[in-house]
Structure 1
Amino acid sequence: MRTKYLYIALLLVILSSCNKFLDIVPKDKFIPTTVEDYENMLNFATVTTFGDFYEDLITDDAFLPEGEPGNLYTKQRLNNRKIYLFDKNAFGEGDNDVIWSEGYKRIFYFNTVINNVLDAQGGSEAAKRSVRAEALLGRALEHLLLVNIYAQHYDAATAATEPGVPLVLEADISAKHRRNTVGEVYNQVIADLQEAIKDLPLNNKLNKFRARKAGGYALLSRVYLYMGNYEQALANANEALGLYSTLANMNNYKVIIPGPFPFVPGAPVGWTDVPRGIDHPETIVARTFLRPFGLGQDVCASQELTALFNNDDKRWTLYYANGWPPAPPFNYMNRYGVKIFLRGDFFSNAINTPELYLTRAECKARANDLGGALADVNLLRQNRIVPAAYTEVTAASLDNDPLKVLRFVLDERRRELAFTGMRVMDLKRLNKDPRFAKTIKHVAEGKEFILEPNSPNYLRQIWPAASVMNPDWKLNP
């Protein structure tokens, strides 16, 4: 029997993509023919989601208390408990691993645009190329996440041989695929972004779910950061910030009413008035998790993450609470010395300016530009810390020690990006440097579970629903 289907097992995924067309367009079938048709595909709800917030449960940021009241461990599905216990085989053939299934579903949408829009009816050549560029950025975003979840972290010495993930460049459900190498995936992501940047619009069309030129440079900066190419990461961060550099002062936001609750047009979202991702001034390209609140109400900050905050930090007082509702009979801080993560808003987990400032700061610190690195972090902190408590951090206050400055930058990155899906990749890349390698410990069911630096358990196993259809694929160790 011919082995085909990258992301179909018993026709699970691509056919569900086809069904999405039926869900959105009330016709027997939808065949895009015009530039407008292809552009509308970029507005579909399917392509405005990204990632799987449960991957954060593998990190040192997460703590799931057991027991009642306040249990957060056993309320998780079995798959998510396995992730928390560092079990790379968290998903069986009958389970839905949404990073894989939804990621490749979105790639199918993006490829449909990329492969066909230049020959579509109507529209100028510039309009066609602009739509195609947005789809190229979307495809790059998905492939970059997939290779970092299911493969070893990029290493120039092994990238050419290390198994990565299938590169899918055609909207063909019958095509045979292989596990491309990590190097091949990264090369394609870079090529897609470099091509996209030429034709991406300067401003988002319609809303921030749509891509813009600054987003192309920002994502390219992320790629080079993961590769350890700090010179190129810095150059692309500069390009992105030269086009869009807005930071929002979090002192202007406040807790308003117990939530989260469903979005109602014109009403605040969640328990704060922090704008949702699509409206947030810091968003460059927006996406939401499949469950818009992410891990809100489902996880506590670990004691280690908690120690990085204080009550003068608005991220701590707006995104975390002692319990839920905010004044409940049960108090996580009293029992465990931690807070529960709420962030009850539809936030962006894709591309934004704070990440860019932190990437630029890290690159400057690694290049021994200590003043430049701290200038970027101080600018961010001015927009995060209560004014009466804010103090500028200088190189002198860190003993003019490059390592101390770099650690300070990395701590700030951890505070800012907690529970947005970024910590796993940061742990994997930093583990390659003995100065930052760390062992993570989670306790559950009366046992201690340990994740060593560079452990193969960082690699989520290839989804069995896909690998069973492709027995020639080499599985993760």
Structure 2
Amino acid sequence: MKKLIYILIFIILCTGCSDFLEIKPDKKMSVPKTLEDCELLLNDYGTLNSAYTALGIIAGEPYYLNSPNWNSIADLDDRNAYIWSEEPNFKTQAWQGPYRVVYICNQIMQILDKLTVAEKESARFKAACGHARFLRAFAYQELISVYTLPYNVKTADIELGVPIRLMPDIDVVSKRASLQDSYKQVISDYQAALGFLDVKTTIQTGTSKSAAYAGLARLFLDMKDYDKAYRYADSAWSLKPYLLDYNTLNSGANFPITKYNQEVLFSALTVSSNAFGRNYIRMNPDLIASYQVGDLRKENYFQPNLVDLGTFGFKGSYDGGPGGAFIGLTSSEVLLIRAESAARLQKIDEALKDVNFLRKYRWTDHIYPIVTEQEPNRLLDIILQERGKELVFRGRRWSDIKRLSDDPHRAIYLERIIDNKTYSLPIGSLKYAIQIPAIVMEQNPNIKPNKR
């Protein structure tokens, strides 16, 4: 543990905002250079799995705040994200968290590249390589989902993506890659990870082939490449075809869904924020009304607000407790990706099989209204509604708002009211790409702001 602390101090010194070259590290400090060092770094859950930005959660999830609670949020960026403000962002953590993951993964891959031939033949080496490539892919994927416009195959090569760093050299000046190249890098990392990862998780807080397949399925869904989304979701599901039976959950518990449950393929969290604090939020009434009698998600996801009768808060975190929002990968999301893609590809029987299989594990005594719709568009609407009811506060709604924005029948218009003033997010808004923190662009003018 002490060695890991020294290694982390070294990395923090190397990734500071300024004057890091003038800091003289303690001679006793461990510079990571062995396979064991890499494994220690990869098991640092707090740094690698739970420091992602919450801005997409705040901007997109189906909930609202009353004016006193919104005004009490201390973090200006979080408050502004809730109303899609034009004000610049100032908090660097939202940007630095994922890029710290990228930096550590780059450093790990550089170390691994220098190991002996014998070490490179070991299962431990393969696990470390696969996990590092996976984590870098996931970090870039999260950055893309928050800080870029929706993917459009016709414009992706000219739209701004995110800066791509593939080496731990901190002296290299970055600029934003195209959106197309940003997506290509995520695909490349996930596919490389598949070549190393085992079917079973081999690192304590690590991942496996099923998670890499799931990450690719999520990515291709956002790209609206439904054929690849279907195939990767199918691969992920075939390796881990398990769902939680909500009949076995204690719906009266503060947090009915346990951490690292059998649906979790990869665990990841945003930072916490009062903007979606448990005692602050009220779920949208339309969402609450969409759960039919017998749907166990309602009682396991939501709790009545005692101070505001008739409204509901959220308790259904897949992390099993308070704090940041769970944005990791799960088998239930994989099943919904496969179902939606199947419907869009006219594979009606397969789409019906998947959506009904999910409902079976979500309804009282497994007795549920069977979906039999054969018309592709109506079936797609049912699956999208099921996706909205299933993936609450899992970070998917912001991405869905973006990717559905060019569909006139399914685009989502958002409104929120604070202090009797209505704020809106029009369909197709440039605000779908949340602004990069101002200090990042001040320190590096090569990083251009998002269009407004």
TM-score range normalised by the length of the shorter chain = 0.7 to 0.9
Q: Is the 8 A contact 1:251 1:386 kept in 2?
A: yes
Distance 1:27 1:443, change over 3 A: farther
Unmatched 5+ stretches in structure 2: 1-11, 21-25
1:138 & 1:394 partners in 2: Cα distance?
A: 39
What does 1:63-462 align with in structure 2 at a 5 Å threshold? 63-67=64-68, 71=69, 74-75=72-73, 77-89=75-87, 91-92=89-90, 95-96=91-92, 98-120=93-115, 123-126=119-122, 127-207=124-204, 209-257=205-253, 271-276=254-259, 279-291=260-272, 295-323=277-305, 328=306, 330-333=307-310, 338-343=311-316, 345-346=320-321, 348-387=326-365, 390-395=368-373, 400-462=374-436
Q: Secondary structure at the match of 1:450?
A: strand
**TM-superposed deviation, 1:78:** 2.6
Q: Percent identity?
A: 26
Distance 1:472 1:272, change over 3 A: closer
**TM-superposed deviation, 1:412:** 0.8
Aligned length: 428
The normalised TM-score by structure 1 is 0.83
Q: Is the 8 A contact 2:266 2:330 kept in 1?
A: yes
Q: Is the 8 A contact 1:287 1:348 kept in 2?
A: yes
User: What amino acid does structure 2 have at the position aligned with 1:85?
Assistant: I
User: What amino acid does structure 2 have at the position aligned with 1:231?
Assistant: D
Unmatched 5+ stretches in structure 1: 1-10, 20-25, 258-270
**TM-superposed deviation, 1:426:** 0.7
1:73 & 1:371 partners in 2: Cα distance?
A: 49
Which residue number corresponds to residue 5 of structure 1? none
Distance 1:16 1:382, change over 3 A: farther
The normalised TM-score by structure 2 is 0.88
Which residue number corresponds to residue 3 of structure 2? none
**TM-superposed deviation, 1:83:** 0.8
Q: Is the 8 A contact 1:51 1:421 kept in 2?
A: no
Distance 1:206 1:131, change over 3 A: closer
2:292 & 2:264 partners in 1: Cα distance?
A: 25
**TM-superposed deviation, 1:153:** 1.1
Q: Which moved more, 1:137-146 or 1:198-207?
A: 198-207
Q: Secondary structure at the match of 2:229?
A: helix
**TM-superposed deviation, 1:177:** 0.6
1:429 & 1:273 partners in 2: Cα distance?
A: 31
1:351 & 1:453 partners in 2: Cα distance?
A: 27
Distance 1:174 1:220, change over 3 A: same
Q: Is the 8 A contact 1:165 1:185 kept in 2?
A: yes
**TM-superposed deviation, 1:375:** 1.2
